[in-house]
Amino acid sequence: MLKDILYRVSLTSTTGDMDQGVKDIVFDSRKVSEGCVFVAVPGTQVDGHDYIEKAIGLGANAIVCEKLPEQLRDGITYVEVVNSARALGIMAGNFYNNPSEKIKVVAITGTNGKTTTATLLHQLFMAMGYSTGLLSTVENKINETVIPATHTTPDSVSVQVLLRQMVDEGCTHCFMEASSHAIVQERIAGLNLAGAVFTNISHDHLDYHGTFDEYIRAKKKLFDDLPKDAFALINGDDKRGAVMLQNTKAAKYNFALKSPADYKAKIISNTLEGLELDINGKLIWFRMIGAFNAYNLLGVLGVAVLLGEEEDEVLRELSGIRGAKGRFDRISIAGITAIVDYAHTPDALDNVLKTINGVRTGVEQLITVIGCGGNRDKTKRPVMAKIAVQESDKAILTSDNPRFEVPEEIIKDMQAGIGPTEMRKTLTIVDRREAIKTACMLSQKGDIILVAGKGHEDYQEIQGVKHHFDDAEVVIEFLQQMTQN
């Protein structure tokens, strides 16, 4: 009944039959069918309140909204709520019998490392014999069954549907990314979280949040909303990590490489082959590379132990795991090493380039191919170009996903961060395929090519159309051609 799925929703007023049955919960008026509840959610592009009449015409017999229409229709139930986006998540949870109360859900937030951390946790718990779910940028998974992902965090109804499927298929754990957009838009409302992880925070998404302080507050909200029986695990080396814990009711823990922490490690060696860490006096070798992955591995260790697993078993299984697709993927052909990475923020790009520079001998060239996405935060474009040029021997500026922007204009924004002397080691090639081809042609045996920005993505979005494009495929194609010439 309608009144049952409104349990725990903050109501302002109700009009009509609260005892009626509910066939479905819908927030997209195009998906309305007879006997469903339509939840009018204000969005960044459109406002669901403008579609209430359309929803009624299509058969919705109950409307949940923040602002009642001027005229109420006879026979229609109206529920006025404080926050309809939050109400949608709570209602969806109730409608699907609150699956997050029957599975341990851990949310991971931060600018970088969300996908790697969530993917490592999924792989780890699968390896330890658990039935496990994953909600990530790359893909959603129920055990090994892949369900394609369209957003970092799905809408709140889809989250509940996926969790319901996981519970029905026997999953005991689910690891999910929680983007700042999703947190602010209440896409994780209605979830009962076992814990949350903060990886780090740096410049990103200011086109949406407006200021860095608002971006921090968005991340912090995840921890503010945690229940007291959950855990809050943060990167203790990030100066904003402590901010995340200020108002949380959850048990507080941290991980670090540099400062005292509950979960601490020391990097013993870092090469293109892997990473050796000292963790509590145990020397463990991992297949992953770079200090940023040492943090990701520590976060995973902390989560697993906090969920009741034995540290030794966790480390043993973690040492054999490869990580997420498109995160420092290494390709080696004809003595040339190419690295494909999703780095699309200044901090992520800086981390990847510093990692490469930390393991190279110095005699080889480092050639970086980099673009910036269209219709996204413009302020990071010159910063990313500057990092790419300063940390590389050659930098090729190109297209990423231009979306509805002109690629040449995006590249012009990037060039604003490059000084006159640095322009001499910079090329501009708008076509991404040609840019990668040029990087391969310029490279010699022993050299390193970094293709950054798209990672796991197998498309390029141009004027609203997604064209197949996979950085790794293109790199392999051209490097193999070079071996045949």
Answer whether 109's CB lies under 8 Å from 194's CB.
no
For residue 24, give Cα distances in angstroms to 57, 169, 378. Answer: 16, 22, 40
Residues 150-164, mean pLDDT to the nearest whole number = 84
Q: Does 208 score more than 80 pLDDT?
A: no
Q: Name 448's bridge partners.
A: 337, 366
Q: Name 459's bridge partners.
A: 468
Q: Which residue has the tokens 């006025």?
A: 80
Answer whether 40's CB lies under 8 Å from 49's CB.
yes
Residues 173-179, mean pLDDT to the nearest whole number = 95
- 26 Cβ neighbours under 8 A, 6+ residues apart: 32, 33, 36, 37, 38, 39, 55, 60, 157
Specify the pLDDT at position 205: 47
Q: Does 321 score more than 80 pLDDT?
A: yes
User: Considering only CA atoms, which of 255, 154, 139 is closest in space to residue 197?
Assistant: 255
352 alpha carbon, distance to own chain's centre: 17
Q: Give the best-scoring range by mean pLDDT among 39-48, 149-158, 411-420.
A: 411-420
Cα angle at 64 between 101 and 105, to 5 degrees?
Answer: 20
Specify the pLDDT at position 153: 61
Instruction: Flag the least confident range among 186-190, 407-411, 413-417.
Output: 186-190
Mean pLDDT (the chain, rounded): 93
What confidence tens digit (pLDDT) does each residue in 57-94 have?
999 999 999 999 999 999 999 999 999 999 999 999 99
Q: Where are the beta strands (DSSP E) in 149-290?
A: 173-177, 193-198, 231-235, 251-256, 263-264, 266-271, 274-279, 282-286
User: Considering only CA atoms, which of 388, 392, 390, 382 is closest in space to residue 416?
Assistant: 382
Name the pLDDT band for 204 (thresholds 50, 70, 90): low
Q: Which residue has the tokens 């081809």?
A: 437
Distance CA(325)–CA(137), nearest Å, equals: 11
Q: What percent of the chain has pLDDT over 70?
A: 97
Name the pLDDT band for 190 (thresholds 50, 70, 90): very high
Distance CA(368)–CA(392), nearest Å, equals: 6
User: Considering only CA atoms, which of 400, 405, 404 is closest in space to residue 455?
Assistant: 400
Specify the pLDDT at position 146: 92
pTM for the predicted model, two decimal places? 0.81
Q: How is residue 445 written in tokens?
A: 């045996």
Q: Where are the beta strands (DSSP E) in 110-250?
A: 132-135, 139-142, 145-148, 173-177, 193-198, 231-235
- DSSP single-letter state for residue 82: S
Specify the pLDDT at position 148: 72
Count the residues in the chain.
485
Q: Does 216 score more than 80 pLDDT?
A: yes
Answer whether 249's CB lies under 8 Å from 229's CB.
no
Q: Does 435 score more than 80 pLDDT?
A: yes
Name the pLDDT band for 372 (thresholds 50, 70, 90): very high
> For residue 119, which phi and psi values (nearest 5 degrees)?
-65, -45
Q: Does 116 score more than 60 pLDDT?
A: yes
Residues 179-202, mean pLDDT to the nearest whole number = 91
Q: Does 184 score more than 70 pLDDT?
A: yes
Distance CA(245)–CA(228), nearest Å, equals: 12
Answer whether 306's CB lies under 8 Å from 130's CB.
no
Specify the pLDDT at position 209: 45
Distance CA(473)–CA(478), nearest Å, equals: 9
Q: How is residue 311 written in tokens?
A: 């540290």
